[in-house]
Amino acid sequence: MPSHPAVARVNLGYAQYQGSLVGVDGGVAQYLGMRYAAPPTGDRRWRAPVEPEVDDSGDQAADTVGSYTANSNANWNGTAVVERSARNIVLVNFNYRVGLWGFLASDRFGGDPEHVVISGASAGAGSVALHLLVSYAEGDKVEYNNGTSNGSGNSSGGSNGGRGENLFVGAIGESPFFPAQPTVADLEWQFDLVLSQTGCVDSPDPMSCLRSKDTATLQQSANIPSPFPGRPGPPTPLPLFFWTPCIDGSFLPDSPSVLFSKGYFIDVPVLMGTTSNEGTVFAPADVASAEDMTIFLRNNYPYLTDAQASNFSSQYPQEPPLPLHESWFPSAATAYGEATFICPTNTFLSSYVRRRNNAQHAWSYRYDVYDASNAAQGLGVPHIWESWAVFGPDSQQGPGGGPASYYNEAAGVVPLVMDYWISFVRTLDPSTLRTPGAPVWALWDAESGGSDTTTTTTNGGATNGKRLLMQIGNFSMETVSDDQQERCDFWKELAPALQQRRGVR
C-alpha cells in the first residue's frame, strides 16, 4: 500500500463504503462492515450465499467483511499487523458466522489478487486445513460410510472438485480444530431433533418450516448442544461442539485424515502450530477421577468403545494439580487437547510434507508464552493464546486493553511473532523477513519418513517433526518429544472411533 493511502469512498457496485485513517500515524486505511453476501435470512437460510443486494440506504447489517486496508471482526483488529508490515499487506477479516471464502472487489483496496494467503485460528484454522484438500485422483473410487461413493473420482489439482485451485498461494492455521467428521447419514438424528425442538416435526415441508422461524426461536430452541446418541446427558458434560463439518461427498468427499494420508492437497506453503495447553479451556474443571475423564472424552467422541476407553488412564495418568481445578483436570485437558488439536495438526503436517510436490514449504510451532493470570487460573498456555502476538495486544479492546503480560514480560514476543507471520504472508517463508537476530525457522520435517498414515517418528530411521518453540526470551527449534509422538500414535489408531477417519460405521 502507499505510505499514506487516501481515504477513498469505494463503490463496489452493490454498496459504497467510506474508509477511515487509523494507526499510530494515521497511515492505515480501514474499511469495516462490508457486505459480501445477501443476509442469510428467510428463504436464504441454509442455502449457498448469493450476491449482495444493491443498497443505497447506508445500512450495512448483513454478511460482512472488512479490510485494512483491514478488519471487520471486532475481536481482532488488523491495524497493528499492517503497520508492522510497513503497509505492505492488505488484511481482510471475514465475519465468522458464515466464513465464505471469497474476495469481492479486492482490487479496489490495493494488494495483489494473485497473492492471497488464507489464515484462521481454532475452527477457522480447521477450515483452512479443509480448504487445502483436493479432490480424489481420477479413478480413485471411494466408498462412503453411508453406502454411497464418489463414482469414478474427480480430477485432482483443485480443492474439492477444483473450487480452491488458484484462490490462494499459502495458508496459516493457529491451533487447528479437528473434531469428529460424521457423514450426512450419521447426522439424520440431529436434523430430526431440530425439527422436534422447533415444532416442525410434522410439517410437510420441514425446511420451509425452519426457514419461517425467527432467529430468536432458532437460537433458543435448537442452537443448543444435546447428548450424542448413546451418551448420557447432564450432569455429565454435554459435547463441546455439537455442530461440526460433515462428510457430504462434495466439499468433504471423505474423512480429512484419509485425504491427508493419500496426499490430496493443494500444493502451497503452509504454516500451522498449536499452544502447549490446547485443552485447558475445554475440559471441565470438575474432572475428579479417571472415570470422569473417560466420560468427558466419550461424550465428545461417542463411538469410542469400552475397550478403547480403558487405555485412557495409562496414556494420560494423573498429572500434578492445577489451581482452581479438580485432580484429574490436567490429564483430561492434555488428552482432549492432543486428540482434537495437537496430534491431528502433527499428522496433517507430516502427511503434507510426504505427499506434496515440494516438501520444503511446511512450518510448525509450539507457542509456550507464560502469563501469570493464566497460570493462576490453571490454564497454562491456552488455546489460541498466540493470537495476541499475531494481531498485537491492542487488537481487541484498544490501547492497553490486552493481557497485562503482553505489555510487560511478554512484550518482546509480539514483534518476533508478527514478523514471522508477515514474512510468510509476503514471501511464503517465515524466515525471509524475520526480526534481525531471530532464529531461522526450520522446516517441519525436511527428511520426512514413516508410513503414509502416520506422523514421522524415531522408529524406522525417520524423525519426529520439528517446530519453532516460542517462549519469553527463547525462540528456538525443538523436535516433537517421543512421549507426545507415542500418544499421537495412540489417537491415530483410534481415528475411526473419533470419526476423524472413516471406517467406524
pLDDT, tens only, 413-469: 999 999 999 999 999 999 999 999 999 999 997 444 333 333 334 444 457 999 999
Predicted local distance difference test score (pLDDT) of residue 450: 36
Closest CA to 244 of 300, 162, 195, 201: 300
Predicted local distance difference test score (pLDDT) of residue 54: 79
C-beta of residue 231 within 8 angstroms of C-beta of residue 294: no
DSSP summary character for residue 329 = H
Predicted local distance difference test score (pLDDT) of residue 110: 64
**Rounded Cα distance, 142 and 140, in Å:** 6
Amino acid at 467: R
Predicted local distance difference test score (pLDDT) of residue 164: 53
DSSP summary character for residue 43 = G
Contacts of 428 (CB under 8 A, 6+ apart): 117, 169, 170, 268, 269, 361
**Rounded Cα distance, 187 and 140, in Å:** 26
Contacts of 440 (CB under 8 A, 6+ apart): 431, 434
Residue located via cell numbers 500414535: 489
Amino acid at 174: E
pLDDT, tens only, 360-411: 799 999 999 999 999 999 999 999 999 999 999 999 888 999 999 999 999 9
Residue 432, classified by CB atoms within 10 Å of its CB into exposed (0-12), middle (13-18) or buried (19+), is: middle
Residue 502's pLDDT band, with cuts at 50, 70 and 90, is low
Return the H-helix or E-strand segment holding 210.
Answer: helix 206-212
Return the H-helix or E-strand segment holding 37.
Answer: strand 28-37
- Over range 15-20, report the average pLDDT: 84
Could you give the residue range(s) of every CATH 3.40.50.1820 domain in the chain? 117-182+250-505
Instruction: Find out whether the peptide bond into 344 is cis, omega within 30 degrees of 0.
Output: no
CA atoms within 13 A on the CB side of 18: 3
Q: Which ranges constitute the DSSP H helices of 338-381?
A: 343-355, 372-376
Residue located via cell numbers 476423524: 500
**β-pair partners for 183:** 247
The SS3 call for residue 273 is strand
pLDDT, tens only, 86-144: 989 988 887 654 322 222 234 455 678 889 999 999 989 998 998 898 755 433 544 33
The SS3 call for residue 255 is coil
If one counts every other C-beta atom within 10 angstroms of the C-beta of residue 440, the result is: 11
Predicted local distance difference test score (pLDDT) of residue 401: 94
Residue 460, classified by CB atoms within 10 Å of its CB into exposed (0-12), middle (13-18) or buried (19+), is: exposed
The string of DSSP codes covering 309-320 is HTTHHHHSPPPP
Predicted local distance difference test score (pLDDT) of residue 479: 96
Predicted local distance difference test score (pLDDT) of residue 95: 63
C-beta of residue 456 within 8 angstroms of C-beta of residue 445: yes
Asked which of 57-71, 244-258, 346-360, 389-403 is least confident by mean pLDDT, the reply is 57-71
- Over range 219-246, report the average pLDDT: 87
pLDDT for 357 beyond 70: no
**Rounded Cα distance, 257 and 461, in Å:** 24
Tell me the CA distances in angstroms from 409 to 372, 413, 414, one per residue in order: 10, 9, 11
The string of DSSP codes covering 50-92 is -PPPP--S----SEEEEEETTB--TTS--HHHHHHTTS---EE
Residue located via cell numbers 497473492: 115
pLDDT for 335 beyond 80: yes
Pairing of β 9-11 and β 16-18: antiparallel
DSSP summary character for residue 467 = E
C-beta of residue 143 within 8 angstroms of C-beta of residue 247: no
CATH tag for 117-182+250-505 (out of 3.40.50.150, 3.40.50.1820, 3.40.50.450, 3.40.1280.10): 3.40.50.1820
Amino acid at 391: F
- Mean predicted lDDT score pLDDT of the chain: 82
- Structure-block grid coordinates of residue 470: 516460542
pLDDT, tens only, 170-195: 999 999 999 888 888 888 888 899 89
Closest CA to 331 of 383, 277, 275, 375: 277
